[in-house]
């Protein structure tokens, strides 16, 4: 599929900057920009990958707008495989918008969100998995998250999916030929080889699915809630992990009344830290609202850091919170170890037989490294997947793999039960189709439109 109209959009963030870029793509990109470009040489006389210095004028008034450098990339050697002109001007809202408006007046139309990437997909330069990796690169929160996205942009996941589909398609071709010509002996695979190939593909799909939890962590981060009763050191812990004074810390109980959220990079893992109001019964309306919100956030937490004050005996409020987090992934942070302990280790181990217990002192800055290690260990449950492997980070891909696995398992059972090959081929075709959804080979146009609508304008 090839789209013939020419589109344009600002491709850099709007705001004060040294440089801004307007991207133009389509059959008429060169002619349209030439109508408003004034330089020693026209763009139409310029070779691909060359830049020209000059000015952009207002299409209607003819007045100079800004001095620019136009970079030309001729089809098919561009991101979209179409003729592309990138107009580099001074950054800032006014020059960018005036140049864009002049380009639109000269004959281009405003691009839809993600339309440049969509054209690269429709014109066959990249598949859908690679296109979605671009968004993951843009939104990456850590270097490791970006490494995974770059690997997918280079086609790591796409190649693996393509190989699995080809294996199944060859088996399908053999089975369908045997159905069409039952009287002939069809060369290809033996019955044993067919069962082996199906099992191998199932094993590979299961392996990919096992990486999806790691992928989710790198994509979305770990939602980590810091809870405890008032004045146990929750805000101090937040500040210590952030290495900055983000939350106000006082000796007055109930100082934190609202939720404070911050993101940190913990050895490549994005950790969304949420400091909550101390959970207790209170008559203060504002504090009570903060407590209720803290309880709501507990239900959405991936990880809970329960902070206890070792210098005070456990209270009814502590035990109420302990009950709230009973079924949550929890690390118990026994804080204020620089003070005399009123809670002994035996009591803690009896209350938390399966939870990791870390002793900390914010005053003496002790226990923080151990806490960071405990968080990573609990998040990955001892199974950190190397970012050199193919990792599934996209929820849509995960669901497609789950559907493919279900269909392939049905095909395997039908084949083992010596059922007619018609039953086997139906489920194999479904498996191939579900895998094809990842790369976009078997997706409907409306789903594709929905995916690219989530992209930013100008990409």
Which residues are annotated binding-site positions for GTP? 231-236, 250-256, 275-278
Pairwise CA distance, residues 209 & 396, whole Å: 12
Residues 157, 129 contacting (CB under 8 angstroms): yes
State the Cα–Cα distance between residues 389 and 412, nearest whole angstrom.
27
CA dist., res. 320 & res. 325, Å (int): 9
Q: Which of 75, 60, 65 is nearest to 30 (CA)?
A: 75
Q: What share of the chain is helix, strand, coil (3-state, %, to 5)?
A: 45, 15, 35
Coil, helix or strand at residue 84: strand
Binding residues for Mg(2+): 235, 256
Between CA 104 and CA 111, with CA 106 as vertex, the angle to 5 degrees is 25
CB 315, CB 346: distance < 8 Å: no
Bridge partners (DSSP) of residue 264 are 271
CA distance 153 to 147: 10
Length of the chain: 459
Binding site residue list = 23, 86, 125, 231-236, 250-256, 275-278, 459
- The rounded distance, in Å, linking the Cα atoms of 261 and 270 is 13
CA dihedral 365, 366, 371, 372 (to 10 degrees): 50
Closest CA to 97 of 24, 19, 9: 9
Residue 20 pairs in a beta bridge with 89
| Residue numbering of the annotated binding site for K(+) | 231, 250, 252, 255
d(CA 90, CA 158): 38
Contacts of the segment 208-213: beta carbons below 8 A, 24+ positions apart: 208/160, 208/390, 208/392, 208/401, 209/392, 209/398, 209/401, 209/402, 209/405, 210/385, 211/385, 211/389, 211/390, 211/391, 211/392, 212/392, 212/393, 212/397, 212/398, 212/401
Phi, psi of 73 (to 5 degrees): -130, 110
Annotated binding site for (6S)-5-formyl-5,6,7,8-tetrahydrofolate: 23, 86, 125, 459
């Amino acid at each position: 599929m090839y789209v013939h109209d020419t589109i344009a959009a600002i491709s850099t963030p709007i705001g004060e900057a040294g440089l801004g870029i307007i991207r133009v793509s389509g059959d008429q990109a060169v002619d349209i920009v030439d109508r408003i470009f004034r330089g020693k040489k026209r763009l139409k006389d310029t070779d691909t990958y060359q830049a020209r210095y000059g000015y952009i004028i207002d299409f209607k008034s003819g007045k100079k707008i800004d001095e620019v450098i136009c970079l030309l990339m001729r089809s098919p050697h561009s991101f979209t495989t179409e003729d592309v002109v990138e107009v580099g001007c001074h950054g800032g809202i006014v020059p960018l918008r005036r140049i864009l408006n002049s380009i639109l007046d000269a004959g281009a139309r405003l691009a839809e969100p993600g339309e440049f990437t969509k054209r690269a997909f429709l014109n066959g330069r990249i598949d859908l998995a690679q296109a979605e990796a671009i968004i993951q690169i843009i939104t990456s929160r850590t270097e490791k998250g970006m490494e995974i996205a770059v690997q997918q942009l280079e086609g790591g996941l796409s190649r693996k999916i393509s190989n699995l589909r080809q294996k199944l398609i060859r088996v399908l071709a053999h089975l369908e030929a045997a159905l069409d010509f039952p009287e002939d002996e069809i060369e290809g695979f033996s019955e044993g080889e067919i069962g082996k190939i199906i099992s191998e593909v199932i094993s590979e799909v299961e392996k990919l699915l096992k990486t999806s939890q790691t992928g989710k962590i790198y994509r979305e981060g770990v939602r980590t809630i810091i809870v405890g009763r008032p004045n146990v050191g929750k805000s101090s812990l937040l500040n210590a992990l952030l290495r900055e004074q983000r939350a106000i810390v006082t000796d007055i109980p109930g100082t934190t009344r609202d939720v404070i959220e911050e993101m940190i990079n913990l050895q490549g893992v994005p950790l969304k830290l949420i400091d909550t109001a101390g959970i207790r019964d209170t008559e203060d309306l504002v504090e009570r609202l903060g407590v209720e919100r803290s309880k709501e956030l507990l239900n959405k937490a991936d990880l809970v850091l329960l902070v206890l004050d070792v210098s005070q005996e456990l209270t009814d409020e502590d035990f109420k919170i302990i009950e709230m987090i009973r079924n949550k992934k929890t690390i118990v942070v026994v804080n204020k170890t620089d003070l005399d302990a009123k809670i002994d280790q035996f009591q803690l181990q009896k209350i938390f037989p399966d939870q990791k217990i870390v002793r900390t002192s914010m005053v003496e800055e002790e226990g923080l490294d151990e806490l960071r290690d405990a968080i990573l260990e609990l998040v990955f449950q001892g199974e950190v997947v190397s970012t050199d492997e193919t990792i599934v980070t996209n929820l849509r891909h995960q669901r497609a793999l789950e559907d493919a696995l279900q269909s392939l398992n049905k095909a395997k059972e039908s084949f083992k039960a010596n059922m007619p090959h018609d039953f086997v081929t139906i489920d194999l075709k479904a498996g191939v189709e579900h895998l094809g959804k990842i790369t976009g080979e078997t997706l409907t146009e409306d789903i594709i439109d929905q995916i690219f609508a989530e992209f930013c304008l100008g990409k």
